[in-house]
C-alpha cells in the first residue's frame, strides 16, 4: 500500500528541512567575506577568528554531534600545526595549500589511531584519555626539541605564497582570505555531513547508543569516523595558525588551549555548527578587550565565564540565539503546516 505522493513529498520536505539554507546563514557568510574588503585594518584578528572557528567547529563535531567530551582536542591542532610548520621550514612542501592538506591528513591519521581509545569507558575515562594523549604529544614535542624547537618553539619558518601567487603579509590580508576560504569549504562539507543519514545516525548515537545499535547502527564505526574527521579539521586549523604566524610552539598542545576551546564552543552553543564560529568571534573580541586591561590575569575571566555559564545554564545562555532560530523555523513550519493541512 504505497502512500499518496503528496504525503511522501511533505515527509521529504520535513526531513530535509534541517538541511535547507537559512537566510541568516547566507547573511553570515556574505558578511564574513565582505569583511575582506570592509575591514582591512582588522584582518589580523579576523584571521585568528577564522582558524579558531574552524578549531571550534571540529570540537562541535565530536562534542555537539557525538557527545564525546574531550579535554585534549589540542592534540590534533598541535599535530597539524607542527606538521605544517615543519613542512614549510624544511622546504619539503612549499605550497601552503598542499601542506595544509597533508597536515590535515596527518592529523586525521592521528585521530583515527586514537579514536579507539575513546570508544569505551565513561565520560571521565574519555576525558582522561583525551587529556593524556595531548599531554603525551606535548611531552614528545618537548623531548624531541631538535625537531620541534622545544620550549622556544620552531624558529625560522618561512611560508611561501598561497598557490604561488598570494604572498603572506604582516597585516593578515592574505591570511584572512586564505583562512576564511578554507573555513568556508570545510564548513560546507561538515554541513553536508551532519545533514546526511550519517549525521542523523550520529545524533541517534549521541542520544541513545543502546537504541542505535538495536536498529543496526554500528556505534563504534560512527564514532571512529567522526572522531577522525574532527581530528582532521582540528589539524587543518592548527596548520592555518602555523602558516599565518610562521611559528609553532609547545603551547599548541597545551591544556589551556583545549580548555579555551571548550569555552569558545559553549559560548556559541554546541550542536548546530555555527556555535563554534559565533563563539570564536565573541571569544576573540573579548580576549582582545580584556587582555588590554589585565594581560596577566586573563585566565581568571575565562574561569569566571565558564562558572557563570554553567550556573546560569548552558541552554539559557545560548537561548539568545534560539529566538532567532525559532523564529526562522516557525516561518518554515507554518508554510509546511498549511500545506499538510490541505493534504489531510
Minimum distance from residue 232 beta carbon to another protein (Å): 14
Minimum distance from residue 26 beta carbon to another protein (Å): 17
- The β-bridge partners of 166 are 162
Cβ proximity to another protein: between 142 and 155 the closer is 142
Minimum distance from residue 245 beta carbon to another protein (Å): 24
In angstroms, rounded to a whole number, what is the distance separating the alpha carbons of residues 54 and 73? Answer: 12
Cβ proximity to another protein: between 123 and 169 the closer is 123
The dihedrals phi and psi of 166, each to the nearest 5 degrees, come to -95, 105
Minimum distance from residue 221 beta carbon to another protein (Å): 8
In angstroms, rounded to a whole number, what is the distance separating the alpha carbons of residues 270 and 36? Answer: 27
Cβ proximity to another protein: between 74 and 179 the closer is 74
Cβ proximity to another protein: between 245 and 287 the closer is 287
In angstroms, rounded to a whole number, what is the distance separating the alpha carbons of residues 40 and 46? Answer: 9
Minimum distance from residue 301 beta carbon to another protein (Å): 8
Angle at 173 between CA 152 and CA 73, to 5 degrees: 45
What is the b/e burial string over 200-226, where b = at least 16 CB atoms within 10 angstroms of the residue's CB? Answer: ebbbbbbeebeebeeeebebeebbbbb
Q: With beta carbons less than 8 A apart as the criterion, state whether 176 and 165 touch.
A: no
Cβ proximity to another protein: between 109 and 204 the closer is 204
Amino acid at each position: 500500500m504505497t502512500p499518496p505522493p503528496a504525503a511522501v513529498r511533505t515527509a521529504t520536505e520535513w526531513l530535509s528541512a534541517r538541511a535547507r539554507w537559512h537566510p541568516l546563514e547566507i547573511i553570515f557568510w556574505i558578511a564574513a567575506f565582505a569583511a575582506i574588503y570592509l575591514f582591512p585594518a582588522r584582518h589580523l584578528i579576523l584571521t585568528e577568528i577564522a582558524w579558531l572557528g574552524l578549531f571550534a567547529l571540529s570540537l562541535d563535531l565530536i562534542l555537539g554531534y557525538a557527545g564525546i567530551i574531550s579535554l585534549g582536542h589540542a592534540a590534533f591542532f598541535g599535530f597539524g600545526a607542527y606538521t605544517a610548520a615543519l613542512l614549510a621550514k624544511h622546504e619539503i612542501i612549499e605550497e601552503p595549500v598542499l601542506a595544509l592538506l597533508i597536515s590535515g591528513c596527518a592529523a586525521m591519521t592521528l585521530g583515527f589511531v586514537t579514536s579507539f581509545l575513546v570508544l569505551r569507558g565513561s565520560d571521565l575515562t574519555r576525558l582522561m584519555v583525551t587529556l593524556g594523549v595531548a599531554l603525551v604529544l606535548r611531552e614528545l614535542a618537548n623531548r624531541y626539541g631538535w625537531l620541534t624547537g622545544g620550549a622556544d618553539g620552531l624558529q625560522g619558518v618561512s611560508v611561501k605564497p598561497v598557490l604561488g601567487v598570494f604572498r603572506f603579509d604582516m597585516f593578515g590580508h592574505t591570511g584572512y582570505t586564505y583562512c576564511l576560504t578554507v573555513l568556508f569549504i570545510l564548513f560546507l562539507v561538515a554541513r553536508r555531513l551532519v545533514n546526511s543519514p550519517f549525521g542523523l545516525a550520529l545524533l541517534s548515537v549521541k542520544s541513545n547508543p543502546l537504541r542505535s545499535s538495536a536498529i543496526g547502527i554500528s556505534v563504534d564505526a560512527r564514532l571512529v569516523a567522526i572522531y577522525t574527521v574532527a581530528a582532521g579539521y582540528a589539524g587543518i586549523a592548527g596548520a592555518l595558525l602555523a602558516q599565518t604566524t610562521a611559528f609553532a610552539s609547545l603551547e599548541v598542545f597545551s591544556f589551556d588551549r583545549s580548555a579555551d576551546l571548550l569555552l569558545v564552543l559553549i559560548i556559541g552553543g554546541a550542536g548546530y555548527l555555527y556555535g563554534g564560529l559565533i563563539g570564536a568571534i565573541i571569544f576573540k573580541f573579548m580576549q582582545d578587550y580584556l587582555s588590554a586591561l589585565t594581560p596577566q590575569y586573563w585566565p581568571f575571566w575565562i574561569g569566571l565565564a565558564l562558572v557563570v555559564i554553567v550556573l546560569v545554564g548552558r541552554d539559557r545562555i545560548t537561548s539568545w540565539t534560539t529566538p532567532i532560530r525559532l523564529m526562522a523555523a516557525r516561518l518554515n513550519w507554518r508554510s509546511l503546516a498549511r500545506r499538510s493541512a490541505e493534504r489531510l
